């Protein structure tokens, strides 16, 4: 999986540090765009990632004829982590235009977060204290469910819904979940909610699923098909 991160600040450092400690996440091909030359060099030395020193608001950066170009259509995930909401919104808008499957952004304003959700531009994350772990969980559960913990005889799975998944755009009741499988709560980047049978599962939603007998393969089949 190819991942593009925009911005090389403290949140990016936290995310890259977390990724470097997880064997499965380290397999991903990661590129970072950072406007500050010093930060770009520091990231390049600290992590095994491709670093481009450039301005993400300069659209020529994403043109194929550019010397250090970033072809957005080549990426599966784009994460905008600059400290400016307007830049992050711009990046997600471009990423959607180029057909990037999963788009996420750090935002400070709840109004901006609501706008991103309503316009289907991507997933906003406005929880600074746990932001690195939230992004890591999204990446870790994008392709298949992962066991996040255990409660007695039950396992807690995390899984992110993409546009092509079986459960995406379906009501919870339409999934006809087995008796021992229950969606505990879901996170849309803005808030955690406990879903009702009538709730429609949207692309980019992070689900926390409680299951007793179901395996990773079973959970994958139920939600991803």
Domains, the chain, ranges and CATH?
A: 2-140 (3.40.50.720), 146-223 (3.30.70.1450)
Res 215: pLDDT: 87
What's the pLDDT at 185? 85
Q: Are strands 154-160 and 146-151 parallel, antiparallel or unpaired?
A: antiparallel
More confident residue, 125 or 49: 49
Q: Which helix (H) or strand (E) holds 192?
A: strand 192-193
Mean pLDDT (the chain) is 87
Number of H helices, E strands in the chain: 6, 11
pLDDT at residue 32 above 90? yes
Statement: residue 120 has pLDDT above 70: yes
Q: From CA 192, how far away is CA 56, in angstroms rounded?
A: 30
List alpha helices for the chain, DSSP H: 10-20, 37-46, 85-97, 110-118, 131-140, 216-223
Tokens encoding 142 = 């994008």
Task: Please tell me whether the overall predicted TM-score, pTM, comes out greater than 0.85 for this model.
Answer: no
pLDDT at 89: 95
pLDDT > 80? residue 222 = yes
CB atoms inside a 10 Å sphere around CB 9: 15
According to the model, what pLDDT value does residue 67 have?
53
Q: Kindly state the average pLDDT of the residues 173-201.
A: 87
């Amino acid at each position: 999986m190819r991942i593009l991160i925009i911005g090389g600040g403290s949140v990016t450092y936290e995310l890259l540090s977390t990724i470097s400690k997880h064997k499965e996440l380290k397999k991903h091909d990661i590129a970072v765009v950072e406007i500050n030359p010093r930060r770009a060099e520091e990231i390049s030395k600290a992590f095994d990632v491709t670093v481009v020193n450039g301005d993400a608001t300069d659209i020529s950066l994403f043109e194929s004829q550019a010397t250090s170009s970033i072809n957005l259509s080549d990426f599966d995930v784009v994460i905008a982590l600059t400290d400016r909401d307007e830049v992050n919104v711009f990046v997600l808008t471009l990423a959607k235009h180029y057909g990037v499957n999963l788009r996420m952004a750090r935002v400070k304003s709840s109004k901006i977060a609501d706008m991103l959700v309503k316009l289907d531009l991507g997933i906003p994350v406005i929880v600074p204290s746990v932001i690195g772990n939230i992004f890591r969980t999204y990446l870790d559960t994008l392709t298949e469910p992962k066991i996040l913990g255990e409660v007695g005889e039950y396992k807690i799975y995390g899984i992110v819904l993409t546009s092509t998944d079986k459960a995406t755009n379906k009501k919870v009741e339409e999934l006809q979940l087995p008796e021992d499988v229950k969606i505990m709560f879901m996170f849309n980047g803005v808030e955690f909610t406990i879903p009702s049978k009538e709730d429609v599962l949207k692309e980019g939603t992070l689900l926390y699923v409680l299951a007793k007998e179901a395996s990773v393969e079973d959970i994958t089949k139920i939600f991803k098909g």
